[in-house]
Amino acid sequence: MCGIVGYIGKKEAYPILIEGLSALEYRGYDSAGIAMVDSTGLTIYKDKGKVDRLKEITRSIEKEKGAIGIAHTRWATHGAPSKVNSHPHTDDKERIALVHNGIIENYSILKDRLKEEGIEFRSETDTEVLAQLVGKYYENDLAAAVRRALADVEGTFGIAVVAKDQPEVIVAARRGSPLVVGVGDNELLLASDASAIVRHTKTVIYLKDNNLIELHRDGIYHTTTLENVQITPELHQLEYDAESLAKGGFEHFMLKEIFEQPQTIKNALRGRLLIAEGTARLDGLNIVHQELRSIERIIFVACGTSWHAALVGEYMIEDIAGIPVEVEYASEFRYRNPIIGPNTLVFVISQSGETADTLAALREASHKGATVLGICNAVGSSIARETHGGVYLHAGPEIGVASTKAFTSQLTVLSLLTLLLGRMRRISHSDGMTIANALQAIPSQVEQILKQNVKVKEIARIYHHHSNFLYLGRSYNFPVALEGALKLKEISYVHAEGYPAAEMKHGPIALIDKEMPSVVLAIKDSIYDKVISNIQEVKARGGSVIAIANEGDCEIEKHARHVIYIPKTIPILSPLLSVIPLQLLAYHIAAMRGCEIDQPRNLAKSVTVE
């Protein structure tokens, strides 16, 4: 992993490939490379570092003609970041070049076998094994060589391959790692993410697992299975345009996306919230109401930020709908032997719809006969295609690696699901209308919180030099404490821990001193007094407290050093509001520490390898 771009057509490929790589920088990477094919042969440039470094070493080729090429940004898995480990990789005769996202699990066995045959390796990567295999089988039919090579490998891949003596074709294939083909005007583009090609076309093909596609000039393509059975792919239209990928005057994509949340929450609610009826409509679930009424257990499966959203969903659904809910880490679920009964409903949650562990968990649940539904943002993603139904977030592209607007959109969809199930099961029309009206008010309430950006920035200025933070919350806001701590860790590299506030006494209280600030979610609810007691315990040990509290709460100022106020809402919806100051706090601390906010070190936007 992490980013692939390809072009074949009548234009010069180089500017399109470099532009595409720049569009994929948000995914996280440590090196970049490009391979061009023309009548003179195969030319490769690559190096450790950012795309700007690649631009420096390729300045001389901008005037060269070349209408076919592939490019890559790498996030290191096998082998440290270095020029030699960067993609593209070639075979030992340098006849073909290959870029690859994914992991070849049996690369060591294959490498030993190829070495015994006299093939010399240059890099430490698993990808070079695949390039050498394609080269071994290549006999002037690139597609045939790729098929034979892929038959030997175990693992995941999204690949693009070119050959110096076939300058009229790009071959691409996937298994477990996404690829999208852009169909333009007498040209074809290839990418691991549609954001790299949306500037050139909005008509795309989402390549399916175990499919191979040959891209030719003049917009001609041929799609087959890896076993060479011809198929006809479906064309899709992208829902967003190139303008949505711009920063829009904000210094970072993350800040832009934080400020987009009033609109993205509206997008998630649009057409789904039935206020007069006190319920919600989620047509994409593809399940009749009678089936939903018979559900006896729900399992949410997710990773990272999506797991935190799922935990809020557990609290909401058990409270309002009375259905037992479990929340599983996808990476653990896939390797257990989960018990899935006939009336168990499984939801997989992923912003990208391509998270490797979540996809594997989806397939495991389906194998066990479960009805599996998805909650994701990316239309046409693997999760969207492989689930029995689901709900799109409609949040638009999220460029910042640290998720913000996708999280609140996930919470919004989970709130709608809770309302729908609750009205079916146990709450009255009046109670349903209360929830629906509160949901409708959320976007404007988020706007009010965002007006305190300057205040949050000033608090960040006081604490940005601290190396440890504790985040405390109870009930619905315990998952928000986890999410706030994660945001700070992700983009500022500050150690932070989220805990249930009452659990502080069972260990973390030993860490509290004047150098360890505590961020406490002190929302006015049935356990507010308990949270105040937790704040007093922190103060008694010299700790500073930053409190997130409801407007009109004068009591909290007696206990906390700093207070960020948020509007009042019903308890189940409080996470949609309480998380906003935590996103802003993490952003400003990271900015003051000089961190790369949109592309934090070691992280990738979509984790498509295990």
- Asked if pLDDT for residue 1 goes beyond 60, the answer is no
Band of residue 132 on the pLDDT scale cut at 50, 70, 90: very high
Segment 469-488, tens digit of pLDDT? 999 998 999 999 999 999 99
pLDDT of residue 176: 82
How far apart, in whole angstroms, are the C-alpha atoms of residue 228 and residue 261? 45
Q: Which residue has the higher pLDDT, 31 or 131?
A: 131
Q: Tokens for 457?
A: 């920035």
User: Look-up: residue for tokens 């949306």?
Assistant: 198
Active-site residue, from 46, 136, 405, 605: 605
DSSP assignment letter at 482: H
Banded pLDDT at 383 (limits 50, 70, 90): confident
Residues 6+ apart with CB under 8 A from 40: none
| Helix/strand/coil (H/E/C) assignment for every residue in 89-154 | EECCCCCEEEEEECCECCHHHHHHHHHHCCCCCCCCCCHHHHHHHHHHHCCCCHHHHHHHHHHHCC
Six token digits for residue 366: 């389906």
Give residue 297's identity as a one-letter amino acid code: R
Query: Confidence band (pLDDT; 50, 70, 90) for 450?
Result: very high
CA–CA distance, 332 with 338 (Å, rounded to integer): 10
Measured distance CA(605)–CA(397) in Å, rounded: 11
What does the alpha-carbon distance between residue 426 and residue 594 come to, in Å, rounded to a whole number? 51
Kindly compute the dihedral angle of the four CA atoms of residues 33, 38, 39, 40, in this order, to the nearest 10 degrees. Answer: -20
Q: What does the pLDDT average to over 567-592? A: 97
Decide: helix, strand or coil at residue 526: coil
Least confident of 3-7, 285-289, 588-592: 285-289
**Is pLDDT above 80 for 28?**
no
The span from the CA of 415 to the CA of 569, in Å, is 13
**One-letter amino acid for residue 493 of the chain:** Y
Tokens of 587: 């952003």
Q: Which of the following is catalytic: 2, 303, 376, 595?
A: 2
3-state helix, strand, coil split of the chain in percent (to 5) is 40, 25, 35
The pLDDT assigned to 24 comes to 82
Residue listed under structure tokens 């006849």: 95
Q: Letter for the amino acid at 442?
A: I
Measured distance CA(69)–CA(239) in Å, rounded = 27
- Active-site residue, 2 included: yes
Q: What is the pLDDT of residues 352-366, one digit of tens each?
A: 888 888 888 888 888
Domains of the chain: 2-244 (3.60.20.10), 246-447 (3.40.50.10490), 452-599 (3.40.50.10490)
Q: How far is C-alpha 520 from the chain's CA centre? A: 27
3-state secondary structure (DSSP) of residue 506: helix
pLDDT of residue 62: 54
Q: Which residue, among 393, 396, 72, 351, has the nearest Cα to 245 in the 3D structure?
A: 396
Q: Measure Cα distances from 36 to 42, 46, 141, 339 in Å.
A: 6, 12, 19, 51
Q: Give CA–CA dist 501/547, Å, rounded.
A: 13
The structure tokens listed for 118 are 């006299």
Alpha-carbon span 534 to 512, nearest angstrom:
12
Distance, CA of 136 to CA of 148 (rounded, Å): 10
Q: Is the pLDDT of residue 527 over 90?
A: no
Sequential DSSP letters for 357-368: HHHHHHHHHHHT
pLDDT digits (tens, 9 = 90+) for 46-78: 888 888 888 888 876 655 557 899 999 887 776
- The reported pLDDT for the residue numbered 445 is 98
220-270 pLDDT, tens digit per residue, is 999 999 999 999 999 988 877 666 667 778 899 899 999 999 999 999 999
pLDDT above 90 coverage of the chain, percent = 56
Rounded to whole angstroms, how far apart are CA atoms 264 and 341?
35
The number of C-alpha atoms within 13 Å of 487 and in the hemisphere containing its C-beta is 30
Q: What's the mean per-residue pLDDT of the chain?
A: 89
Q: How far apart are CA 522 and CA 541, in angstroms?
A: 19
Which residues does residue 189 pair with via DSSP β-bridges, in sequence order?
Answer: 7, 182
